[in-house]
Structure formats: C-alpha cells, structure tokens
Chain A
Amino acid sequence: MTAPLDSHAPNTRYVARKRRVTEDKRLAAGRGNFVQDIVLPGMLHVAVLASPHPRAKILSIDTSAALALPGVAAVLTGAQLSAATNPLYGGLPTPEVKWYPLAVDLTRYAGEWVAVVAATSRGLAEDAIELIAVEYESLPCIIDPEAALLPDAPLVHPGHKSNVLYRQTFTWGPVADDFAKAEDTLTFRARWNRSSTVPIETFGALARWDIGREIIEIWASIQMPNYAEQIAASLRIPLNSVKVHHDVDVGGSYGVKRGIKHTIIVAHLSRMLGGVPVRLIEDRLDNMSGGDAHGPDRIFDTTVAFDKNGSIRSLKIRALDDAGAYPGRGPFQLGKPIAALVGPYTINSVEYEAISVTTNKTGQVPVRGFGQSPTNFMIETAVDKVARHLGLDRLEIRRRNFIAPNAFPYEIPTGTKYDSGNYPAVLDKGIALADWQHLTLRRDAIRKEGRLAGIGVATCLEPGGGNNMFEYLMNPAAEITTFMEGCGIRVDSSGRITGIMGTTTSGQGHETLVATIMGEELEREPDDIRVLHADSLAGLPTRSPVASRMAIMLGGAAAGAARKIKDKLIKIAAHNLGVGESELDYDGGTFFDRANPARKLTWEQLCIIAHRQYHKLPAGLEPGLQAEYVWQVPGGGQLPDAQDKVQLYPCFSFQAHFALIEIDPGTGKVSILDYALAHDCGTVINPDIVRGMIIGGVAHGIGAALYEQFTYAPDGQFMSATFADYLMPSVFEVPFVRDVEHCTPSPLTSHGQKGSGEGGYLGAPACIASAVNDALSTRNLCLDSLPMHMMKIEALLNGDSQT
C-alpha cells in the first residue's frame, strides 16, 4: 500500500495556473470554424424524408416528381444506398441487426430517415422531399423495454428473432456468501428515462470525393472513436482513402456527435455525383427525432445486502437498457460502468445482469459518462435507502463504507484498481463549503413553515481514461486491448513549438491542454505554442475525446513527445559544452554547465544547431527537432481473466455534491436553493476549464434529474421534437454552484491529472434525487424515477394528501 498522495497546487510554471484558454481567442471573437461555416464551391444541400410510422413496411417509393424538380441533383432511397454500402458498425455479435443510414424495407421508428434529396439549396431539397411518395403498411410497434422482452412482442429486427440484443450475468466475488451473511437486504427499482446531451449545434457533415486522389474528404461536427474506420468499412474503400478534417470546431457534443449515418449519406452522394461537395446539416427536428442521438433509457432492479451498522456487503443489480432501433455502440453503456460498479465504497461482491433490448425508438449513442451517471444514481439511491432504513445519517453511512485513503491502489470486485483517492477529505471539504449545518437549519426552517424541503448528498466516481475493455467483456470477438492516443511536436529553427493532435475539440480546450503541458515540460511559454488538429491521414492514432480521457491520454502523449525533444536537446547541449548529460542544469530552455554556469547554450542556439549545424550534432543524431509519442492507457492492455475480472479505465476522479431544494406542494415544482460540490480530479491542468466542465456538468445533471426526457407515446409517436417539449435548463434553473477542488494526484499520469470532462453530470442527478427524496420522506413518499418532473411529484403529493 502506498501512502495517500495529497498535495495542493503543485510546483509548476504553467500547469494548474490561471491562464486564458487558447481556443477562446477565436471562439469568443465569433471566428469559429464550425461545419456550417464551411462552404465549398458548388456544394449541394441535403434534406431528409422521415417516416411518420414507428414501424411500417415500405411498399413503394416514387421519387420521380422530386427528381424532376429543377435544382435537384439526386434522390437516394434506402434500397439504393444499402446496395452500394455495407451496414454501419454494430458492436455486438448480432449479424441480423443491420443498420443502414436510410430504412430498407422496414421503418423501425417514427422519424427514421427513408430517403434524402440533394439539391442546390436546403430549401429546394425540402421542397423536393415533399414530392416523394411513399406507400407504407403500418405495423404494430414496441416502445416499452420490458414489453419488448415478452415472447409475443413485435420484433424490431425480425431476422434477429428476438428483441434482446445482449443479456449476460456477471458475478464478481462471493455474492451468495455475502448475501447469506448480511443482516438485512433491501430491494428497489430505479428508473433513468431517456434523455441525452442535446448540444446547441446539431450534427452536420460535408463530404467531397476527390476523384484524382481517390480520397473522400470529410468535415463534420464529429466526436467519436474509429470514425474514419467506420466510413471506410461502410463505403467499401481503403482506410487511407478517408481524410477526416479535425480542424472543425464542434459546437458541443458530450459524447453524442456520432453522425456516422449522416456521413455515409453525404459521402456516398458525393461519390455518386462525381465529386460534387455535399452537405447535410440537421435541423432541430431531424436531430431530435431521427438523429440517433438519444442516451440511456434504463431500468435498474437492485437488491442491496447490508449489516445493521450500515456496512454494505453486496449488490445484485439487473440493468435493462433500451437501445432503440439501431444499437451501434449504445449497448456498451451497460459495460463501461463496470469500471466503478461499487462506487467509492468497500462493497465486497456484486452480481450484475445487463440486458440490452431493441425497441421502435431512435438509436442510442454514448452520452457523457457512458452509462456511469445512471449507475451512480442507482448506487447512491441504494446508499440513501439503506441509511433511511437504518435511521443512519447519510453522511455517516458514506463514511462507514468509503474506501480508506491508505487503501489505494484499491481493487474492486470487478478487477479494476482505483488509482488514488481521499474520499473522506473531499467529503469534509464539501461539507465545509456547503455548510451542512446551515443547510440543515434552512431546510428545517422551511419545513417548520409547513413546506417541503430536502437536502441531497451524492458521493460519486468519474472513471477517466478509457480502455475499451468493456467491449471485449460484452463481445469477445472484439479483441482490442489498447485505447491509445498520439501527439506530435515540432520545434522549428526559430525555436517556436508546434504541437500536433489528431482529433476534434468540442469545447474541452485541447489546444490549451497540449500547449500547457508541452510548455510545462520544456519550460517555454504556452501562449507561444501553436497546436494543430491534424487530419486523419496526417495525424497519429487517436481514439477521440471520449471517456473523460484527454487530460490523461492526450496530456500524457503531449508530455511524452515534449520529453523526447528535451532528451534530444540534452544530448546536443552535452556534446557542445563537452560535459556529461548529468552535469547540466536546465532552466527555461537554456542548458548550463552546473560547474560553470557561465558556459551555457540557449534554446535558440540549440534549435539552430539542430536545424542547421549538422557538424555540431552528436554522431548519429537525427537532424531537426521533431518527435511523436503514442501512449497506451496506463494499467490497461490485458484481457479479462477467467472470472471476467479486468482493469476498466485507469483513473478515478471523485466528487461530493450537496443541494438544498424546496418543492412547491401545489405544483410539484422543485426549486434548487443552494448547490455546492467538492471535486478531486488530481492535478488540474487549467482551473477555468475544469471549473467550467464541473458546473456545466451539474447543469446538465439538473436537466436529467428534473426536466429532460425524450417521450414516446404508447403508439410510438415521438413527443419531444422541439426545445419547447424537451426542456433544457436555462440560467433560471441552474443555481449558483459553489465548488472547491481537492488534489489527490494520480500516480499513473504525466502530472497527476485525472478526467474531469464528464464532470458534475456524474453526480448531480443522484444528488438532486437524494434531495427530493429527503423532502418527500417527510410525507413518507419516495420517487426513484428520473426526470422528477413536477407533474410526477405533484401526482405523488396529491395522491398522498387524498389518502
């Protein structure tokens, strides 16, 4: 066991210091380069025709009138597109679940795209869409995920012969034993309804087939791993014929910007039309109803085994998730939370039955945290219920079950080792910041006046870094044991540094990250470092900014590349100063002979030698100053053992949330009166960025907890197609969030950093639910279904008052 690392502002020049965010210079000046800003000569615009039926046979499609409209260049149907392309990627071994960008023969949800038109303007393309005549035969549909399991349920993919895409039970540790020994058990159901991240920018893609070079060029508001690979596979072209431009600014994603079907449509059209650029920008209706960008839709049935002192021994969890019509990578959101399936607690064993079903809803994609936020909500609900059952304080039960600060690295039953943490210290900081005593007084004062008030607490983990091993756990055909990230560096003859990353950015400030870390390593001013987003053919391997991994993985790769440069500079300096490498000191770019500091070589001199003066280089040293570094996920790289134990994700951030809420008993409306959290993501690279993600994540979590839901009527019609129906928090719904950082560095990363991009979203829903239930407990009520919409609460309260 190692002693807990517990330091505060590290001894750094640039890391963890207040510095302006590089990207803000262009974005706050209205000079972004979003996909909608990219205009190519002769570009065509695509509009989509969506199915009005949740499930229907396509009997015929007549496109002749649309094609005859002047300005229309092409009309494409599912039959045509599926004949020319391979199905889109599906992660599970379900060969009969075929996903094409446009429906083939059968539509599987209301809003599914059936045909597209490419025309000289979007308006014209929409006019032509109205001229397409489709004959449908409407069929019964399946919307409820539990009903989808029944033997007589309509089949979403008839060839698959079942609506179950995946079902497996894992048992980690002595579950039966622990349940037998436990003094008590509790069973409950927790419901996480369908919501998503819903960025303010919809998805868009622009493609141009460069015939001469045989390259399909793509500009898209994309954030996903293996995008180029999936494009190549679907279009049946070599991978080195796909060039994804990564210098497109992405207007928010938080996981969902995965428009692979949109991309295949525009890429195919551009090839079909001899290289004319073609773009598809979703309008908001396209995005919400047919963009395949919804998130988890999950029912947990959990039994928790515990002792009278509040010590939790074991969990039995059944998670049923509704992946919608086309699963893609969505079902893996059942797998990733295995990384932190017991939360920050010393729970000795866990049984986990994961079930993914397909229904007649739009497809599910990875959402911020990749299934972790629903799982955290379920775990925290369990802890609160045990506390309430035993009459224990909710803070005390957490303290009793926390993994101790001196127990790290700590292996949980599923085989993952948590890298570091100090949960009691973070909890204490949060209690101090929130002023728990004062919160309690305020709550009790409100209650005295006969109104409903509650305090919420949630202590949650944020696994960061990724490593994809959940995919192998769920599908052993996917023998993938790396989730690497690369970074390049060039120092030119004038001494200026260029960092080269290989993926897009959607608000996380990666340019700032790379510049700060390279600047730190080389002791050069980060503001002078330029960071480029190389395209997919020019750049190094990347797995994109998912899995709360970029500070860890891109940061590590940037540090690795910079260290290679420094190693080279040491060699050049030692050679030219005629001393050993260990006899040199380095400060701000200059190497000094330690014995005689007047003898030195400056950064500029060294760069000139490297680039121009071969005769001054040590024998055999490559001229120039350039390096590449590709980093494997620390601690990863192995397949699961025979007990399915495996390291999932390397780093574990921690957060303690506190909220005071009041419920209007008349309307059920929840008002958040106060919100505070303490957060530990190890070393913070840029304080403004981390704070923004944490608070932004809390806002997003408040949405998931109280307002946001994609609703389907029982007949399969989609009810939440606008921002007036899908309710996202405005500034009025988000309280002022007080936050404090704690730093338990990760021993696995370049500067002790951990992930923070999933941020407050991983704890806020659990915290708000805890607060609402604290309020409802005064009337012996409880609600374990998110979002806790005011109508649900009002119905619950009125039911209560009538009895």
Chain B
Amino acid sequence: MSMIKLTVNGVARSASAEPRMSLLDFLRENLGLNATHMGCEHGVCGACSVILDGAPVRSCLLFAVQADGHAITTAEGLRKDDGTPGVIMDSFMEAHGLQCGYCTPGMMIAAHALLEQTTSPSDDEIHEAIGGNLCRCTGYAQIVEAIRLAGRRMKDAS
C-alpha cells in the first residue's frame, strides 16, 4: 500500500492504494467520486477520461500512484461550487447530448479540455476532441451540438 496525495477538483485529497490499483478505481472506490466510468479498461472508449495537469487522460490506463502529487479534474469538477450544473453540464442537458449518460462524464471532460483552448471550436476541432470517446446511444450529433452550445455560452459570458 502506498499513500497517494493529489489535488482533485481543487481539493487536496489523500488515500492509500495498492500499487496495482488504477487511477480509475482509486477515484471511484477510494475517493468516492463516481462520475468517472469504466467502459473498457484498455484505453479505447474514453468513459474514464479525467484531466491530469490540464490534459485529458484515460484513468484506466494510469496507476493511482502515477497521479501522486498531480492535479486531477473529474466530471464532478464541472459542477459549480454550489453543486449545481456548470455550463458544460447544462449545455448537455439543453441539447440532450446524452441518453443513458454512461459515456457522458468522459465526453464532458473531453469538451472541457477543448473549450479551455477555444470557446468557438470548429466542428473538426470538436470531432478531434471527442474522437477517442465512444458513445453507443447518440450517434454524436447532439453531443457535438451540446459542445458548440457550451462554447457559445462561455464566450458570451466572458
């Protein structure tokens, strides 16, 4: 067991974990952050996406120990401080950018990483950003629309 100290959604957290534990399992089981989902555990589906030091990564492919000392953003971090939905979440609701909601946290993390770079992404840029995230429900159209909407709203607010 090793003690892991990291910052999650701006809050300092620590918990111990076996060396073989994935960051995904660590977030879900040891820190109780359930929004991050397990889809394949081999790096293809993107359901487990989180932001590590500003860049999206697959938490199923990282060991928890590798995140020691780093800053993580999970989908929970896309809520406002009072727990209400942030702009990306609200845009997914408005555009119905989901059905079962299982891929959704990973999609929103991918959207967040993109919209940090630009609030008026082209469709190609949106496709690039979510190209590694599989959704079986939506066929992606409403997800793309949700991300576009979120970008517009962020731009209007700034």
User: A residues touching B (Cβ–Cβ < 8 Å)?
Assistant: 20-21, 23-32, 34, 36-37, 123, 197-202, 249-254, 281, 283-284, 506-509, 688-689, 691-693, 695-700, 722-724, 728, 730-732, 734, 736-737, 760
Q: With A200-B37, A252-B102 given, can you name 19 additional A-B contacts, CB distance below 8 Å?
A: A20-B94, A27-B104, A28-B85, A30-B75, A200-B102, A202-B38, A251-B100, A251-B101, A284-B39, A506-B100, A688-B95, A696-B99, A699-B139, A699-B140, A723-B40, A723-B42, A730-B134, A731-B140, A760-B139
What are 16 residue pairs bridging A and B, where the CB atoms are less than 8 Å apart in the complex? A20-B94, A21-B93, A26-B101, A28-B104, A30-B34, A34-B34, A36-B34, A200-B134, A249-B101, A251-B37, A251-B100, A252-B136, A695-B142, A723-B40, A730-B131, A731-B131
Give the distance to chain B from A287, nearest Cβ to Cβ, in Å.
Answer: 9
Residues of B contacting A734 with CB < 8 Å?
139-141
Residues of A contacting B141 with CB < 8 Å?
691-692, 695, 734, 736-737
Main secondary structure of the interface of B (DSSP, over half): loop
In chain B between 25 and 72, which residues have their CB closer than 8 angstroms to a CB of chain A? 28, 34-35, 37-42, 44-45, 47
Residues of B contacting A252 with CB < 8 Å?
99-100, 102, 136-137
Residues of B contacting A23 with CB < 8 Å?
101
Known A201-B100, A284-B42, A737-B141; judge A30-B134 contact (CB<8 A).
no
Q: Which of B41, B94, B139, B142 contacts A284 (CB 8 A)?
A: B41
| Contact, CB under 8 Å: B38 / A30 | no
Complex CA–CA separation, A779 to B42 (angstroms) = 41
Complex CA–CA separation, A199 to B76 (angstroms) = 23
Chain A, residue nearest B141 (CB)? A695
Residues of B contacting A724 with CB < 8 Å?
42, 44
| Contact, CB under 8 Å: B127 / A731 | yes
Chain A, residue nearest B132 (CB)? A730
Residues of A contacting B103 with CB < 8 Å?
200
Known A251-B101, A698-B139; judge A29-B85 contact (CB<8 A).
yes
Complex CA–CA separation, A253 to B95 (angstroms) = 22
| Contact, CB under 8 Å: B136 / A728 | yes
| Contact, CB under 8 Å: B105 / A30 | yes
**Residue of A29, A198, A688, A722 contacting most chain B CB atoms (<10 Å):** A29
Residues of B contacting A253 with CB < 8 Å?
100
Complex CA–CA separation, A506 to B104 (angstroms) = 13
Residues of A contacting B18 with CB < 8 Å?
123
Give the distance to chain B from A220, nearest Cβ to Cβ, in Å.
Answer: 15
Interface residues on B, range: 35 or more
B23 at the interface (CB under 8 A from A): no
Known A249-B100, A251-B101, A284-B40; judge A28-B108 contact (CB<8 A).
yes
Main secondary structure of the interface of A (DSSP, over half): loop
Residues of B contacting A21 with CB < 8 Å?
93, 96
| Contact, CB under 8 Å: B37 / A29 | no
Give the distance to chain A from B82, nearest Cβ to Cβ, in Å.
Answer: 12
| Contact, CB under 8 Å: B100 / A27 | yes
Q: Which of A28, A36, A283, A284 contacts B28 (CB 8 A)?
A: A36
Chain B, residue nearest A691 (CB)? B142
| Contact, CB under 8 Å: B139 / A199 | no
Give the distance to chain A from B146, nearest Cβ to Cβ, in Å.
Answer: 9
Mask, B138-158, CB within 8 Å of A = 1, is 111111100000000000000
Give the distance to chain B from A106, nearest Cβ to Cβ, in Å.
Answer: 30
Known A24-B96, A201-B100, A507-B99; judge A737-B89 contact (CB<8 A).
no
| Contact, CB under 8 Å: A199 / B136 | yes
Chain B, residue nearest A695 (CB)? B139
**Residue of A34, A201, A506, A509 contacting most chain B CB atoms (<10 Å):** A201
Give the distance to chain B from A250, nearest Cβ to Cβ, in Å.
Answer: 6
| Contact, CB under 8 Å: A28 / B37 | no
| Contact, CB under 8 Å: A692 / B99 | yes
Complex CA–CA separation, A28 to B142 (angstroms) = 13
| Contact, CB under 8 Å: B34 / A37 | yes
| Contact, CB under 8 Å: B98 / A200 | no
| Contact, CB under 8 Å: A34 / B37 | yes
| Contact, CB under 8 Å: A200 / B96 | no
Give the distance to chain A from B122, nearest Cβ to Cβ, in Å.
Answer: 13
Complex CA–CA separation, A508 to B98 (angstroms) = 10
Q: Which of B28, B95, B102, B130 contacts A251 (CB 8 A)?
A: B102
| Contact, CB under 8 Å: A508 / B99 | yes
Residues of A contacting B100 with CB < 8 Å?
27, 199-201, 249-253, 506-507
